[in-house]
Amino acid sequence: MGTLYMIVGTLVALGVLVTFHEFGHFWVARRCGVKVLRFSVGFGKPLLRWSDRHGTEFVIAAIPLGGYVKMLDEREADVPGALLGGAFNRKSVRQRFAIVSAGPLANFLLALAFFWLLAMLGSEQVRPVIGAVEAGSLAEQAGLAADEEILAVNGKRVTGWGEVNLQLVRRLGESGRLDLTVRELGASQEQHRQIVLHEWLKGVEEPDPIGALGIRPWRPQVAPVIAQLDPEGPARSAGVVLGDRLLSLNGQSLADWQQVIDQVGSLPGQPVRLVVEREGRQEEIALTLGVRGEGAFARGYLGAGVAAGEWPAEMLREVSFGPLEAMVEGGRRTWAMSLLTLDSLKKMLLGELSVKNLSGPITIAKVAGASAQSGLGDFLNFLAYLSISLGVLNLLPIPVLDGGHLLFYLVEWVRGRPLSDRVQGWGMQIGITLVVGVMLLALVNDIGRL
């Protein structure tokens, strides 16, 4: 079933995002008087095709990994004199700029629409209450304590752990002060805590910002009864089965799942002895824990999980907006995620963020499947994030991408004439090399995660 969700989720995601992106180019091109020859969703052999009254051929092709809009252009083929007015290359710099930028803009508008819808539907969020603080951690040094709720990060109000994590991600690889506004449960007075960062989590693969501060979110107590198993994880390989109750790890008794998380996390790559209760009898299982993260941030990995605990009502909050408020919220989230994506790319170039965080088609497919299986809200959220990423990446000033074409048009506008075909050709070759290199790196990262 998971594989089916992954396939369907990926096809839907790519289909929606690519179609909307190309429709942006198509819609503006039509209004600028450019004759569109073909609108294709996918590459390769056409599976379905039809034409409209303007002579545009619409195609759904076999390989759903992109799409394109083919316009009448003298640089690609001879154009009859009667049709020259509809050629893309004959349009003004302003019109060509508008046509090319319309694709990425469509992606941002689509993300805004998804965020607007999600804001109106509302969501139930877990209040960001601290459950425990690790001894000697940055959080302890700053004076944070259990049963304090985080209200704001660097002055930005937060309503749940997701927003806390998002604000912390912005500080990855940076030095300086991190300001947290907190309030004790049951109290009314707000307090401020400052954490001093120094090249925080610089270059770390798969960083865990909340955990790296030494903060453990509050969770309801859950019995350590296995309800989930990673098919490739250490627990499954060693013989742990669904329904096993973990009694002890290396001789230390386990009464709550959080104890399992703490003990397993402190033993990355170490051999351990588990005692489990199975069908009324005890069994001892020897296994070697996996590793997640690297260096000082490496954590042990068991590859097992439990059923969700029952959250008390006072630890949850319902967050929703009216139609107009939701539009503002959608715009705010779209802008924030766009800046975060750009900032992350900059930090990768400067070495502040590990390039291993780049994701390729395999990871996208897995996340698409997981979000689709999780529910409509999570899937729409995933589509919004992916649409923003597609829009930002396409606007990068790299020849062969939309942003590269926009760069050429900007130079043409300043100079009063276009760059020579030779220079543009060199730019395209460099752009193709860069794009292929990044795609290969992302694919290698995907394979490494597998």
Alpha helices in 375-401 (DSSP H): 376-395
Q: Helix 402-415 vs helix 421-449: angle between axes, to the nearest 10 degrees?
A: 160
Least Cα distance to 103 among 4, 3, 24 occurs for 24
For residue 137, count CB atoms less than 10 angstroms from its CB and return exposed for 0-12, middle for 13-18, buried for 19 or more: middle
Least Cα distance to 295 among 343, 354, 347, 235 occurs for 354
Least Cα distance to 282 among 257, 245, 255, 251 occurs for 245
The whole-angstrom separation of Cα 109 and Cα 103 is 10
The whole-angstrom separation of Cα 164 and Cα 152 is 8
For residue 180, count CB atoms less than 10 angstroms from its CB and return exposed for 0-12, middle for 13-18, buried for 19 or more: buried
- Give the Å distances, CA to CA, from 185 to 128, 222, 244: 11, 22, 35
Write out the H or E segment, with its range, that includes residue 405.
helix 402-415
The whole-angstrom separation of Cα 181 and Cα 390 is 34
Q: Catalytic one among 22, 163, 205, 329?
A: 22
The whole-angstrom separation of Cα 211 and Cα 397 is 36
55: left (phi over 0), alpha (psi -120 to 50) or beta: left
Where are the strands (E) in 27-72, listed by range?
36-51, 57-71
The whole-angstrom separation of Cα 386 and Cα 429 is 27
163 is catalytic: no
Least Cα distance to 218 among 305, 157, 146 occurs for 146
According to DSSP, the β-strands at 148-153 and 130-133 are: unpaired
The whole-angstrom separation of Cα 72 and Cα 38 is 9
Active site residues: 22
